[in-house]
């Protein structure tokens, strides 16, 4: 397994729309394992392949503190949304930035697991929010794009300054 480099906003590659996975082979299984290792090492709860510059429809997540419920979504599609909720979101691609985003309260998602088996999951709460957040990445969208232009520009400026300082 290997730690992968997480792209940082406003990197243009984060706006790439991911392509469907055509075959779940050893390469995809290695990608999944590396994404989990990267997500856990970064103290995240979700990671989309887009964030590690692999533009295929793969998402991993685990909302537990003890890493006991790893979930894999390959070629995920939200088939139903219901209700509305707000949540303060953060993102491994937008480190140190948190803001309130409005999303559906409940979702139904269809996907394949790492063995190529199709499943349907009905989710609410944090799991529903995380699914929507990560699937946005697969569509080339970052959570800060739900915010006002003023907030987006402030975040870009802050992250660019931080990147220069880190060099």
Q: Which residues are catalytic?
A: 134
Nearest to 74 by CA among 56, 93, 53: 56
Nearest to 138 by CA among 88, 66, 73: 73
- Give one word for 80, left, alpha or beta, with left for phi > 0 and alpha for psi -120 to 50: beta
Q: Is residue 86 packed enough to be buried (19+ CB in 10 Å), middle (13-18) or exposed (0-12)?
A: exposed
91 carries a ligand binding annotation: yes
43 carries a ligand binding annotation: no
137 carries a ligand binding annotation: yes
Instruction: Return the residue matching tokens 């998402």.
Output: 59
- As a whole number of angstroms, the distance between CA 7 and CA 43 comes to 15
| 10: CB partners within 8 A, 6+ apart | 156, 159, 160
Q: Binding site, residues? A: 91, 133, 137
Q: Binding site for Fe cation, residues? A: 91, 133, 137
């Amino acid at each position: 397994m290997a730690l992968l480099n997480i792209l940082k906003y406003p990197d243009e590659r984060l706006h790439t729309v991911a392509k469907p996975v055509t075959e779940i082979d050893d390469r995809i299984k290695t990608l999944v394992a590396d994404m989990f290792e990267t997500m856990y090492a970064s103290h995240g709860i979700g990671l989309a392949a887009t964030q590690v510059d692999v533009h295929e429809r793969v998402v991993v997540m685990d909302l537990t503190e003890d890493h006991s419920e790893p979930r894999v979504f390959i070629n995920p599609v939200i088939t139903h949304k219901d209700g509305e909720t707000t949540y303060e979101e953060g993102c491994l691609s937008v480190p140190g930035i948190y803001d309130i985003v409005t999303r559906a309260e409940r979702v139904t998602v269809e996907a394949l697991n790492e063995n190529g088996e199709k499943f349907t999951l009905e989710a609410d709460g944090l799991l529903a929010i995380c699914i929507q957040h990560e699937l946005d990445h697969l569509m080339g969208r970052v959570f800060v794009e739900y915010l006002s232009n003023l907030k987006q520009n402030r975040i870009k400026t802050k992250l660019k300054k931080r990147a220069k300082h880190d060099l």
